[in-house]
Amino acid sequence: MIGLKYGIVGFRGKMGREIFEYFSTFGDECVLKKDVDSFEQTDTPQVIIDFSSPSALEETVKLCREHKIALVLGTTALEERHFEMLRELANEVPVVQSYNFSTGINILRKILREYTRYFSDWDAAMVEIHHTQKKDAPSGTAKMLRNDMNRDIPISSLRIGGVFGEHTVIFSNAGEVVEIKHSALSRRAFSIGVRHAALFTLKKQKGFYSYEDVLNENL
Ligand code: NAD
């Protein structure tokens, strides 16, 4: 689809700028730009995309409710009270929330959920590598993948140079090794998924969805 009208909360941030740049390649129009102490609106968006901070969510939800528009939410570190707000909003409009909008990571999650059981008597571990500015270790994504495996495996975290994000799951027995690896090359890994999610909301009346629901819809 060409000509999506959307809004961004966290417009000046790294993800906000990346989403704006990527969506522009399709001729989409950013008609609402919100950040700390700035708000600019030229039209009513069809969907609001929020990659900012949990503290922004209350106002974002208000905006969506006021205009009866969908929400795609990528902000991390949400608490239960935020999820409550989202579930309430989802009774009125479509909401897609995910801590990781990368298509590859979401496919990897499905693979791990389905196939980890075949390695039940093998050793398993994960190595995750990120740039030196990353504050948390292990990464939220690594913990999510381990959770999908339903196995308490060791995670080794390396922080070197400018590596954008690598997660490798390793299975090994005495005679062989199987490695499954995902590398994010740039923030584009997320903005591609965000656009899929934004288009997905246009086909829905209301409801609370994950990025996996978006992927399943396109199968
Ligand atoms: P960033 O710090 O570069 O940008 C955040 C932006 O939000 C800043 O411009 C900031 O001024 C703005 N902001 C903060 N509080 C606000 C408020 N109350 N109202 C309006 N704007 C506000 O961070 P980033 O790397 O762009 O990441 C933003 C969020 O997205 C983080 O929570 C990050 O963890 C998350 N993230 C999620 C995914 C995903 O796939 N779900 C991917 C990357 C980043």
Per-residue pLDDT band at 76 (split at 50, 70, 90):
confident
**182 catalytic, yes or no?**
no
Strand 29-35, strand 38-41: pairing: antiparallel
Which of ligand 1's atoms lies nearest the C-alpha of 140? 34
Q: Give the Å distance between the CA of 200 and the centre of ligand 1.
A: 22
Residue 13 near ligand 1, beta carbon < 6 Å? yes
Per-residue pLDDT band at 2 (split at 50, 70, 90):
low
**pLDDT at residue 84 greater than cutoff 70:** yes
Residue 36 near ligand 1, beta carbon < 6 Å? yes
Give the Cα separation of 122 and 193 in Å (integer): 33
Catalytic residue among 5, 67, 134, 204: 134
**pLDDT at residue 1 greater than cutoff 60:** no
Residue 100 near ligand 1, beta carbon < 6 Å? yes
What's the ipTM? 0.99
Q: Do 205 and 198 form a contact (C-beta atoms < 8 A)? A: no
Say what the pLDDT of residue 65 is: 97
Return all residues near 59 (Cβ < 8 A) that are at least 6 apart: 9, 34
* 94-127 tens-digit pLDDT: 999 998 999 999 999 999 999 999 999 999 999 9
Say what the pLDDT of residue 124 is: 98
Which of ligand 1's atoms lies nearest the C-alpha of 17? 26
What is the residue whose two structure tokens read 């995902």?
Answer: 182
**82 catalytic, yes or no?**
no
Q: Do 116 and 149 form a contact (C-beta atoms < 8 A)? A: yes
Catalytic residue among 33, 34, 82, 130: 130
